[in-house]
Structure 1
Amino acid sequence: MSLHITKIYIRNFRSALNLSLSPGKLAVLVGKNDSGKSNVLRALNLFFNGRTMPSNVFDFEIDHNVFHNPNQRAKEISIKLEIEMPETYKATNGDFVVWERRWRSEGMVHDEYSGRRRVAGPRGGAKLETVEIPKKSNAHALLRHINFVYVPAIKDLEYFSELRASIYDIIAEVADREFRSSSQDFEQSISHQLEDLTNQITASLGFRSRLALPKDLSHIFGSLDFLSEGHDISLDARGDGIKARHIPLILKFMADKKRGLQVRGAQPHTFIWGYEEPENNLELSSCVELADQFWGFIDHGVSQIFLTTHSPVFYNLHRKQEEGESRISCHHIFREADEEGTKQVTELGDLDERMGTTALFAPLVTELEERVRRQEQAHAEVEQLGQANRRKIFVEGVSDRFIIGKALSVFAAERNAEIDIETKDGAGINYVIDMLQSWRSRAKHHPELPRAAGLLDLDPEAKTALKNWNDVPGHTKSAKCFKLPTPPHLFPALQAGFRVPVVLECLYDKEAWFWAESHGHLKDRSVLSVISKELNNQIVNAETTLDGHLHDDWAIFVKKEFKQAGKGPMARHYANKTDEDFRARMPYMEHLIDEIVAYLFPEEEEVQEPNGEPPVIASAGFRTF
């Protein structure tokens, strides 16, 4: 039910001679240094708080655009906002409010707002009609309850002191009675300790005197500290990045607390933030987390956020939304010429040209952002999974979970109940490696954590990922990567030179593939992906045919592949086979299961036979390609 700004018009304020923009609920302002990005935030702060910055009073001579020299009229700064009204207010007050404030050298000279209603035009178009907001309308209180918070680019100790002090205003309202009681107890304790001093003052000066806390405790809150648990490290002693991450959490806390104070029937508060360069002092992963945090706050306690940035992490945010969605807007702010002042464009088509090399990093940063988000999600999932203190196998998809689960029950029945197989839809290689990485990270701090295994296909990308993981010293102490075996029925095709990727579905025998084809689970494979360039040229030149190089025993593995929709039904069908049938058709899975179980239960390796020799585990060996 909170408000949000849908249009901003700024005239003659600092570098903005004539600037307008249509912000989304998360509005990202991008541009070079001194392009005028921050002036948008300062204009909003002037509009709502009467100051250009929290520490700077309004000075018309400084804040008026130097190139605005009207001939007949007085110099004037104008800021006009269009503010969308909640649905329940529109019938009486219009669809949105137009609110304008103007300043001259003597101060504010104009402050008016009125509603606008969208109505059908005479020729089927639309037009706006002005709506006078009734004096008794709740819209007046709604507009007065807009809280604009400005966060400067330089977040020094003074800023943090003021931020902590502002917590007092909220806490004092929430717990006024409790505060009074606690402060009285504190005052009595002080009086008891200083009783001799106060008695001397009374005897000397002839009147009673006592020490008391001040009525306003905000300066005391400004001296409060956040201490890290365990080591009691002061927030002031922490790095700038850690301190910066506290800011949105503190602001969100105050917004939630203030909203919680509302009595029933009162008009709600609207919280809008103007945030300068949130990337300052943050490494990439923290930037990604903060960007996602901003996005998560929108409509969940914070109505709208304006932020200025040089970082691709933040101006890539608009790519998070669905096509056609406009909750995130990205505005390129630039200065064309001094006389023309600051301009803006919503589309980023010319960003590369105007921003230079910074914008060229955006696609690369997007890939890194995705990796960071994946790893953060994996970290959160492992934190949850690790609490169960059970052994895990992470696999690439739901089909893998069916088959590996069945293989465990057949080849390691005594350990099956002690192992969890984890995955999710569309997991893939990245999921497995990210989960192993997070498991390894958790094990460093929790040595008692059981081991985890990852299982990958044998396609080229998986082979590289497996090698990169297992070859790093220390990785396999707590998490190791394994690969699917190459089934014997695929050997002839591979030996014939066909580069068939060994994925889970290749473990199924020829009869299973024929069953899958009869149920519509297969499709034609792109032959170019599995044949050599030389053979392709021969086929193109009609020198030979593909079928001439295939054998009926394995041709289907070359010519066909599974549809995505067919993988699940096939895996369920195969996993439902009897244990005897599964063992007979997939004997090559036994060695893999033995390896994984032996890794997950290393204590068994230390068990000695009565003669002092380690137990011998017999298993069949199979070739891999």
Structure 2
Amino acid sequence: MQLIRRIEINYLRSLYTAVLVNPGDMNVVFGRNDSGKSNLLRALNLFFNEEVDPGQEFEFDLDFSDIRRDAAKAAKGRQFIAIRIDFNVPPNYRASLGDTISIKRQWNIYGERTDTLPRGLSKGSRIQLTRFLNQIDFSYIPAIKDLQVFGDLIERMYGAAAQSSGFESATDTFVEAIRAQTSGLSAGLSKLFGSTTKLAAPTDMGLLFRSLDFAHGEDGHSLLRQKGDGVKARHLPELLRYINEHESGKKFFIWGFEEPENSLDLGAADAEAERFAEVAARSDTQVFITSHSPAFYLASSDRTKADIRRVFVSKQQVSDGARDIVVPKNAISVIDTLDDAESRMKEASLLQLPYLIRQWGNLKKDRDAIEAQAEQLKRKLEQLRSPTLFVEGRFDKELFDAAFVRAGLPRSAVNVRILGGTPSTTPELLPRLLSAGAIHPEAKVLFLFDNDRAGRTAHKNICGKAPPAKIHEVSSGLGAWVLPQSPENADFCKKYSILPEHLFFTSEFLYPAKMAVELCADIIGPRGIEESRSEIHEIYHKHLSQAVSAPLRAAVPGTIDWFFSRGVPNNFKERFADAAANTLPQSQIDQIANAAWDFLSS
């Protein structure tokens, strides 16, 4: 969320003048110690909560800029602190407030506040503006995250939870259980004072909740008293997120976190930075963070694409020219690129941080690459655990992937893999399997070959005999099959006395013959038809007698005999496969897929 679109701070502590334009969903603020990073968050806290540090009342003398104090005394000028915030107005308020609105709040030496609103606001618009501001919650988490910080948040958590249905009755049950255990005490007190006396819940239950803890881990260790600071700190964003989601009356949330990487190792800081980016990508939350960590400079969220800005706060000092002029003029500069960060940090003698950012960035790239490879390997291993159908080529894979989907099977049910051709010998099979991803001993496997010379040879090498019409189970969980011949192709072979060992039958013949012929002729066109006129498939050319092959060469283009004796030319197979998959009946393919699934799932 980018609710705040501009921040201007004047004369708050070390910030003489600081302007941040177009902050993002998440804004990471860098700078040397004592440069004023935290004062940016304190300015937001003062604007929204009337306090500079959490739980401490605003004191002008403590929070006023020393440089401005000296300049004002010398020139008898006014002493004040001013904070102006420009908002991107949420859609439901734009009719009365416009697309953007600016509010300036100024505090004088007596701590009195004056608000400057846009001119011309009607009474109704002012009411809407007040309502809008009341719906903004700014939460400030300081650098030192002690029990006080947790107590404050847990008390707020009680307030949020107490608004849910059923919570009050649960509290009553809790109190009644304590009364039952102390009934003797209550009876004695009642007798002593002559009136009913019994334990009751505190008037402010939030005070009771402040002492609540989190049982952490299987051993139930106390989070707040037994766990390290890093573990405790990582609970804070989740706790605050819960409060935001359950508190009534608030709709827009702005977080100010000081150094969330404190007590975290670099890996944990990296994970925390990504978590903050995910929160900032929400439509109701904007985040401002101070940090010294390269993990937060490189924060990103690939899942959410949060807009993350990086800024640098420089310590302002009086210039040599005039007493009331400081350098730099604006304490805040944008360092969204690493070159900008390096330049600004070099000026502030923070040379080690840009180096660490670059090194950590390179390590993250290496880590991400390794994680991507590991995830790919994991997916491949998961696929290998699925029943696997090995086919010869890409078109076969697409054909049977679609058939299994039509059968209502999830894509993960059957792993269709490509052998990349037909292994003609057994030694060729192992490299092909390794190239295709190998096999898993727990997964059933079926090899489905084209019903041509190479396919039948591969089948025989695996099974030790000529392929039968049905799936041959070589061993438990391993089967081999050649494409079963269609009735129309069987009639063609019978007509020309083509023996089974001379058969040429591939997946392009699994469609109704007449429709497949028309599609093939349409795709290859007159020129392709002419080129195919005297050519027949190689296996028929070699093994059929002249008396049989001559009529096939003379077959009229566009007939079933012409199609079965030639097949689809290699340079047109892809176009034919794509068109056939989208326009021709798939019933024969589905029958084969169902038979394959029956074997693989049995």
TM-score (norm: length of structure 1) = 0.57
Contact kept, 8 Å, 2:186 with 2:197, in 1: the verdict is yes
Distance in structure 2 (CA, Å) of the matches to 1:96 and 1:89? 10
Match of 2:310 in 1: 330
Equivalent residue pairs, number: 411
Point out where structure 2 has 5 or more consecutive residues left out of the alignment: 320-325, 399-408, 444-602
- State the SS of the aligned residue for 1:331: strand
Shift of 1:134: 2.9
Residue deviations 1:196-241, cap 9 Å, x none?
Answer: 2222222222332111111322222222222234221221212222
> 3-state DSSP class of the match of 1:80?
strand
Q: Against the structure 1 CA distance between its residues 132 and 586, is the aligned structure 2 distance closer, same or farther, given a 3 Å change threshold?
A: farther
Q: What is the CA–CA distance in structure 1 between the aligned matches of 2:317 and 2:136, rounded to whole Å?
A: 34
- Whole-angstrom distance in 1 between the partners of 2:376 and 2:160: 35
Which residue identity does 2:84 align to in structure 1? K
Residue 103 of structure 2 corresponds to 99
Matched, 1:279 2:261: yes
Shift in alpha-carbon separation, 1:242–1:576, aligned structure 2, 3 A? same
- Give CA-to-partner distance per residue, 1:544-597, whole Å, 9 cap, x none: xxxxxxxxxxxxxxxxxxxxxxxxxxxx9x9487xxx52139954515747999
* Match of residue 141 from structure 2: 151
Match in the other structure for 1:295: 277
SS of corresponding position for 1:20 = strand
Secondary structure of 2:364's counterpart equals helix
In the alignment, structure 1 residue 582 sits paired with structure 2 residue 427: no
Letter in structure 2 aligned against 1:75: Q
> 8 Å contact 2:393–2:419 — kept in the other structure?
no
Q: Does 1:253 align with 2:247?
A: no
In structure 1, stretches of 5+ residues that fail to align are: 116-129, 263-267, 394-399, 407-416, 424-571, 604-625
1:20 and 2:19 matched: yes
CA contact (8 A) 1:13 1:65 kept: yes
Name the amino acid aligned to 1:173.
Q
Indicate conservation of the 8 Å contact 2:143/2:260, yes or no. Answer: yes
Tell me which residue corresponds to 2:252: 270
Equivalent residue runs for 1:160-239 within 5 Å? 160-175=150-165, 178-236=166-224, 237-239=226-228
- 1:42 deviates by 0.6
Partner of residue 134, structure 1: 124
Judge conservation of contact 1:255–1:301 (CA < 8 Å) in 2: no
Q: Tell me, what secondary structure is at the counterpart of 1:584?
A: coil
Q: Is the 8 A contact 1:277 1:310 kept in 2?
A: yes
Q: CA deviation at 1:61?
A: 1.0
The answer as to whether partners of 1:47 and 1:101 remain within 8 angstroms in 2 is: yes
Could you say what secondary structure the match of 1:167 adopts? helix
- 2:81 counterpart (77, 89, 101): 77
Report if the CA contact (8 A) 1:41-1:306 is conserved: yes
Q: Select which of 309, 326, 331 maps to 1:343.
A: 331
Deviations, residues 88-113 of structure 1 (Å, cap 9, x unaligned)? 43343122111111112311230232
Match of 1:86 in 2: 90
Q: Output the CA distance in 2 between the equivalents of 1:102 and 1:151.
A: 24
- CA distance in 2 between partners of 1:376 and 1:155 (Å): 33
Deviation at 1:249?
1.0
Correspondence 1:5 to 2:4: yes
- % same residue: 27
Cα offset, 1:361, TM superposition = 1.9
Deviations 1:71-100 (A, max 9, x none): 334311111111111234334312211111
Partners of 1:82 and 1:46 lie apart in 2 by 15
How far does residue 305 in structure 1 lie from its aligned partner after superposition? Answer: 0.5
Question: Alpha-carbon deviation of 1:157?
Answer: 2.6
Deviates more, 1:236-245 or 1:247-256: 236-245
How far off is 1:162 after superposition?
A: 2.2
* Shift in alpha-carbon separation, 1:133–1:368, aligned structure 2, 3 A: farther
In structure 2, what is the equivalent of residue 242 of structure 1?
231
CA displacement, residues 251-273 of structure 1 (integer Å, 9 cap, x when unaligned): 11111122xx46xxxxx611000
Counterpart residue type for residue 36 of structure 2: G
Give the 5 Å matches for 1:274-423: 274-300=256-282, 302-317=284-299, 327-337=307-317, 340=326, 343-347=331-335, 349=340, 350-354=343-347, 355-373=350-368, 391=385
Distance in 1, Cα, partners of 2:383 & 2:428 = 30
> Which 10-residue stretch deviates more, 274-283 or 155-164?
155-164
The CA RMSD over aligned residues, in Å, is 4.3
Alpha carbons of structure 1 residues 310 and 186: separation in structure 2 relative to 1, 3 Å: closer
TM-score, structure 2 as length reference: 0.59
CA-to-aligned-CA distance 1:520-564 (integer Å, 9 cap, x gap): xxxxxxxxxxxxxxxxxxxxxxxxxxxxxxxxxxxxxxxxxxxxx
Quote the offset at 1:40 in angstroms.
0.2
Q: CA deviation at 1:62?
A: 1.0
The aligned runs of 1:368-517 (5 Å cut-off) are 368-373=363-368, 391=385
Indicate if the aligned counterparts of 2:385 and 2:442 stay in contact, CA closer than 8 A. no
Equivalences for 1:483-562 in 2 at 5 Å? none
Distance 1:345 1:422 in 2: 56
Residue 362 of structure 1 aligns to a residue whose secondary structure is: helix
Q: Secondary structure at the match of 1:53?
A: coil
Summarize deviations over 1:300-357 as a string: whole Å, max 9, x none. Answer: 26421011111122122479799xx993221111124256277121145223513312
Q: Which amino acid aligns with 1:344?
A: I
Over 3 Å counting, the alpha-carbon distance change for 1:402 and 1:274 in structure 2 is farther
Structure 2 letter corresponding to 1:583:
P
| Range 347-356 or range 204-213, more displaced | 347-356
Partner of 1:57: 57
Q: How far is the alpha carbon of 1:293 from its aligned partner?
A: 1.5
**Structure 1: distance between partners of 2:202 and 2:380:** 50
Residues 351, 359 of structure 1: 8 Å contact kept:
no
Alignment correspondent of 1:43: 43
Whole-angstrom distance in 2 between the partners of 1:144 and 1:320: 33
Cα distance in 1 for residues equivalent to 2:297 and 2:232 = 23
Tell me how far apart the structure 2 counterparts of residues 385 and 59 of structure 1 sit (CA, whole Å). Answer: 63
